[in-house]
Amino acid sequence: MDYIIHMEPKYSFSELIDTTKLIENCTDKWFNQTLCRVNDSIIRLGVFNEGEFHWHKHEEEDEFFYVIKGKLFIELEKETIELHLNQGITIQKGVSHRPYVKEPTAVIMVEKDSVVPVGDK
């Protein structure tokens, strides 16, 4: 797995978050940066320049994806969901899924702060 995942929030309360700079400066294939905490949730930026994530699921947490650049595909067991710019979806806890991209894509993710980004074992 060639993922770069930063779990510690980059920004604190009342600090400006500029995702444009983070996206433009990212050269990694699959990058996740926790931006901040909101109550018991975390807001993360995913910059996916190429490739796919592995099949996984989260037994205890739902996961929300919202596309801010490019196009995200989320493969489920019986279908593939295609998210375009300014579209989002919530993947229910316990559902196996595999995100992938065909072009550079950036996504905002919202999930409970207990989530393990690579999925539960």
What tens digit of pLDDT does each residue of 2-58 get?
788 899 999 999 999 999 999 999 999 999 999 999 999 999 999 999 999 989 999
pLDDT band at 121 (very low <50, low <70, confident <90, very high): low
**pLDDT of 72:** 98
pLDDT of 102 > 80? The answer is yes
With residue 34 as reference, give the H or E element that holds it.
Answer: strand 30-38
Order of all β-strands in the sheet with 63-69: 4-6, 30-38, 41-48, 105-112, 63-69, 88-91
Place of tokens 């375009």: 84
Instruction: Tell whether pTM > 0.85.
Output: yes
Average pLDDT, the chain: 93
Domains of the chain by start residue, with CATH: 4-112 (2.60.120.10)
Structure tokens belonging to residue 76: 């489920």
The answer to whether the CB of 52 falls within 8 A of the CB of 1 is no
pLDDT of 118 > 80? The answer is no
